[in-house]
Amino acid sequence: MLPRGRPRALGAAALLLLLFLIGFFLFGGDLDYGRPQPRGAAALDGDLPAGYGGHNSSDCDPPRPRPRPPKCELLQVAIVCAGHNSSRDIITLVKSMLFYRKNPLHLHLVTDAVARNILETLFHTWMVPAVWVSFYNADELKAGALALLHSSPAMPSPLLPPKVPQVSWIPNKHYSGLYGLMKLVLPGVLPPDLVRVIVLDTDVTFASNIAELWALFAYFSDKQVIGLVENQSDWYFGNLWRNHRPWPALGRGFNTGVILLRLDRLRQAGWEQMWKMTATRELLTLPATSLADQDIFNAVIKEHPWLVQPLPCVWNVQLSDHTLAERCYSEASDLKVIHWNSPKKLRVKNKHVESFRNLYLTFLEYDGNLLRRELFGCPCPLPPGAEQLQRALAQLDEEDACFEFRQQQLTVHRVHITFLPHKPPPSQPHDVTLVAQLSMDRLQMLEALCRHWPGPMSLALYLTDAEAQQFLRFVETSAVLSARQDVAYHLVYREGPFYPINQLRNVALAQALTPYVFLSDIDFLPAYSLYNYLRASIEQLELDGGRKAALVVPAFETLHYRFSFPTSKAELLALLDAGSLHTFRYHEWPRGHAPTDYARWREAQEPYRVQWAADYEPYVVVPRDCPRYDSRFVGFGWNKVAHIMELDAQEYELLVLPEAFIIHLPHAPSLDISRFRSSPTYRDCLQALKDEFHQDLSRSYGAAALKYLTALQQPRGPI
């Protein structure tokens, strides 16, 4: 959901002004507007001139009108994407497309399992109108099988019959690996009724409406099947270094970062047999491809030059290590697509790179929520769930004092799971994942947490698009964090006035991969031995036999920013007796943890059972399939209490572990707790949410929930 309001509108206006200024200085403005243009200049600026592609023309020919696709024509775009890093890259590409587009889009994504998992979740939660996404299994394509993984219900595509467009037999030196060869097989992979498609690399950025690129299909002759921009380096001349042996190419060759494909004609021409025969022949004298699919495309075009329709250079401005792109952008007034085709990406050496980088960073850090724009005048089905969401929002009373709370409950946040590379741990029957959530102001806790907890973690971070990049740099520059591949970071993008704490917990909980989870908070440090102790306790208590239990980890706190962390229970008790540690929130809200019975814990040698009591909110270890947190609770107050109440309603035993402990570290109060303390309306709304939660609990559990009603009628504090 995208709340409307003046601040967001002002932010969008400011961004539009920024993009205009970047375009003016980066692309030189259109200072030559109205002046005579040299012959062929249109090819630089994005339009094909009359006669381009072999048609007869003269200087007296009137200029052709610029072609435009019908207003609501569905544009088809195919992209190959594999792994965590490419999944981040594709988002920036899609943002740039969405910013300028005025047509519906259908994205055909050829992905590995990692990218599919990430992008399915992202597009499902992004809920962009008039965008459909289909997924195709790249891993099966490598070996020869073909499968359409998923197609949007609004745009169904048929499951295609098995084919064998293998690429795994082709040796490839390019850093993209076998995925860099996937574009060769697209005519056999995409639905057979698909006629035209734009194919893009993940490292391109749009600076214009993609419909203008689609319109260039109109210039294809009857024989042309592939639209490409000339390669903007001397790579295919073979003179970049001694013994440089490139694949054959027509002249300077063509770059395949942006491709227009006439799929119908390629299929009729026997494209699969054509490129395979060419590749087989060239591999008799060349050891491997150096530029992946691009080498093979160029070898085919060298042999069959009538297949290609050259495109204006502005549709693929290539910033490679040996680029000659300045010849294009120094003359053109309006660049269309920037291509970061160097392995160094944004760190490529180029005297104008800072200007290009600013354009890229504009979209990298742009608030993706602002792209949930309707295409007015184009009737399109709403994204799944959007219609129900709109109805629910329409039923809210804006005069209700708790309107913002109820609106936040209905907000669908964009979610980017496994934002950084992640290697799941080997499956173990008693393994435990630490689950927590945080925002930017708690980022400094991560390194200490990694030192204390050597096991897997699933962490949800509540960030803006710009903060996501700060987080990325923070992890990359931290020796501790960058060394951990078993920590999964899931980004939930900020939207709305309150911190959606339980939605964040649910995201992190849903992505945990071990049988058990430790439900913690980011400002607690676990005992150094806790990870191994929990696994041993789960095995000892035989929880994998179906016993429903929540293992309670006693919580303590220190008010000192510097203190010596205890390495054992004995050391903790000594610090407790000395006044350096306290039971958690003993001075503010003791009833939140009183049922743990700290006096008994001091002497305990074995796990012991405790009873639920009103406002109890311990930190627990439970099976991964435990009840989810109630997402109506946002900001401060009752978010854990409600969860423990539901565990009790489902008859989980509460077992306190005698050697386990966590310690809360001091920090500045959050914005939401400050609101709670200062605003009577905030507290009244929280009470209303509590009452509604109990009514729902009674409907779910009947008479068994009566004890909670009795407890709620007693005088209580905030949590």
CATH code for the domain of 178: 3.90.550.10
Q: What three-state secondary structure class fits 257? A: strand
Q: Which of 6-10, 193-197, 252-256, 687-691 has the lowest mean pLDDT?
A: 6-10
Residue pair 315/336 in contact by the 8 Å Cβ criterion: yes
Inside any domain, residue 540 = yes
Mean pLDDT of the chain: 86
Per-residue pLDDT at 16 exceeds 60? no
Q: Which helix (H) or strand (E) holds 76?
A: strand 75-81
The CA-atom distances, in angstroms, between 633 and each of 114, 138, 435, 719 are: 32, 41, 18, 11
| Domain boundary residue, one of 368, 400, 428 | 368
Residue pair 382/129 in contact by the 8 Å Cβ criterion: yes
For residues 682-694, give the mean pLDDT: 88
Specify the higher pLDDT residue, 669 or 358. Answer: 358
DSSP code of 29? T
Do 437 and 362 fall into the same domain?
A: no
Do 563 and 681 fall into the same domain?
A: yes
Do 199 and 273 fall into the same domain?
A: yes
Residue pair 302/250 in contact by the 8 Å Cβ criterion: yes
pLDDT score at 378: 87
Q: What confidence tier does 323 reach under pLDDT thresholds 50, 70, 90?
A: confident
pLDDT score at 384: 81
Do 519 and 618 fall into the same domain?
A: yes
Per-residue pLDDT at 132 exceeds 70? yes
pLDDT score at 176: 86
Q: Looking at the 3D structure of the chain, how many domains does it have?
A: 2
Give the closest residue to 139 by CA, choosing from 116, 107, 106: 116
Residue pair 408/691 in contact by the 8 Å Cβ criterion: no
The CA-atom distances, in angstroms, between 285 and each of 288, 350, 364 are: 9, 34, 42
The CA-atom distances, in angstroms, between 364 and each of 111, 198, 711 are: 21, 22, 50
Inside any domain, residue 567 = yes
- CA pair distance 489, 468, nearest whole angstrom: 11
Q: Which of 54-68, 300-314, 323-337, 646-660 has the lowest mean pLDDT?
A: 54-68
Beta-bridge mates of residue 662: 526, 555
Inside any domain, residue 65 = no
pLDDT score at 443: 94
Inside any domain, residue 20 = no
Per-residue pLDDT at 25 exceeds 60? no
Domain that holds residue 546: 415-712
Specify the higher pLDDT residue, 231 or 239. Answer: 231
pLDDT score at 181: 92
Give the closest residue to 124 by CA, choosing from 113, 140, 135, 110: 135
Do 613 and 500 fall into the same domain?
A: yes
DSSP assignments along 93-131, one per residue: HHHHHHHH--S-EEEEEEE-HHHHHHHHHHHHHH--TTE
pTM: 0.87
Residue pair 167/208 in contact by the 8 Å Cβ criterion: no
- CA pair distance 642, 619, nearest whole angstrom: 13
For residues 145-164, give the mean pLDDT: 45
Non-local (6+) Cβ contacts of 516 within 8 A are: 430, 431, 432, 433, 534, 538, 543, 621, 622, 623, 624
What tokens were used for 151? 């197609």
The CA-atom distances, in angstroms, between 681 and each of 355, 478, 670, 676, 699 are: 48, 42, 18, 9, 27
Do 563 and 488 fall into the same domain?
A: yes
E-strand spans in 427-562? 432-439, 457-463, 487-493, 516-519, 524-526, 549-553, 555-557
Do 495 and 353 fall into the same domain?
A: no
- CA pair distance 119, 488, nearest whole angstrom: 16
Per-residue pLDDT at 542 exceeds 50? yes
pLDDT score at 312: 95
Inside any domain, residue 66 = no
Do 419 and 356 fall into the same domain?
A: no
Residue pair 457/487 in contact by the 8 Å Cβ criterion: yes
Go through the chain and tell me how many residues it has: 719
Residue type, 47: D
Do 475 and 584 fall into the same domain?
A: yes
pLDDT score at 92: 97
pLDDT > 90 in the chain, percent: 60
Do 611 and 670 fall into the same domain?
A: yes
Inside any domain, residue 177 = yes
Inside any domain, residue 563 = yes
DSSP assignments along 134-155, one per residue: EEEEHHHHHHT---EEEE-TTS
What tens digit of pLDDT does each residue of 517-527 get? 999 999 999 99
Strands 524-526 and 308-311: unpaired
Do 342 and 450 fall into the same domain?
A: no
| Domain boundary residue, one of 368, 399, 428 | 368
E-strand spans in 163-202? 196-200
Residue type, 676: F
Residue 58 has phi, psi (to 5 degrees) of: -145, 170
Give the closest residue to 459 by CA, choosing from 493, 409, 411, 510: 510
For residues 444-459, give the mean pLDDT: 97
Do 334 and 433 fall into the same domain?
A: no
Per-residue pLDDT at 27 exceeds 60? no
Q: What confidence tier does 637 reach under pLDDT thresholds 50, 70, 90?
A: confident
Per-residue pLDDT at 60 exceeds 50? no
What tens digit of pLDDT does each residue of 465-485 get? 999 999 999 999 999 999 999
Inside any domain, residue 223 = yes
CB atoms within 10 A of CB 245: 9
What tokens were used for 387? 């219609």
